[in-house]
Amino acid sequence: MKAKLQKTFTPRPTDIDRKWYVVDAEGIPLGRLASEVAQILRGKHKPTFAPHMDMGDYVIVVNAEKVAVTGNKETQKVYYRHSGFPGGLRSDTLAKMRIDHPDRLVTNAVRGMIPKNRLGRQTLTKLKVYAGPDHPHRAQEPQPLTLTQGRAEA
């Protein structure tokens, strides 16, 4: 007697249901925040996850300037960027980045946790980071997402 084979479900673009979440980053460790946000952006929390498709939801991170870091990272962690011109290597410490561009702290941390390809760049466009408590996405009616002990709860 032959067993009936079950076909693998492959989601179509019409099967994607995107939601909006807002995360308050105040007091949350940067790495823990970034890993949870990266999973939601990729869609790994959904039962229809497919690694070759952008299945994730939109995430709004507010209060990025108040994100927590442990140890001596405030003075010892260095962020590098290059202008593309000879001698164009620039560096900033985490403390200076927190003052000048606090949104880049979260963006860079999340960027490091998603794939380094076209799909990853497309996924990163669904991340919206704001230094303060306000954001312009009220019309999307984002649901609050609380991060507790490394787990996201919608």
Q: Is residue 44 part of a domain?
A: yes
Percent of the chain having pLDDT more than 90? 84
Contact status, residue 63 vs residue 140, Cβ threshold 8 Å = no
Q: Residue 73: which residues within 8 A CB-CB, separation 6 or more?
A: 94
Q: Residue 136: which residues within 8 A CB-CB, separation 6 or more?
A: none
Q: Is the pLDDT of residue 149 over 60?
A: no
Range of the domain at 36: 18-68+100-153
Write out pLDDT tens, residues 99-108.
999 999 999 9
Return the exposure string of 54-68: e unless at least 16 CB atoms fall within 10 Å of the residue's CB, then b: bbbbbbbbbbbbbbe
What CATH number is associated with residue 24? 3.90.1180.10
- Total number of domains constituting the chain: 1
Q: What is the mean pLDDT of residues 31-40?
A: 96
In this prediction the pTM is: 0.89
| Coil/strand/helix, residue 2 | coil
Q: Is residue 127 part of a domain?
A: yes
Q: How confident is the model at residue 4 (pLDDT cuts 50, 70, 90)?
A: confident
Write out pLDDT tens, residues 131-146.
999 999 999 999 999 8
Burial of residue 20, with CB atoms counted within 10 A of its CB: 0-12 exposed, 13-18 middle, 19 or more buried: middle
Phi, psi at residue 133, to the nearest 5°?
A: -85, -5
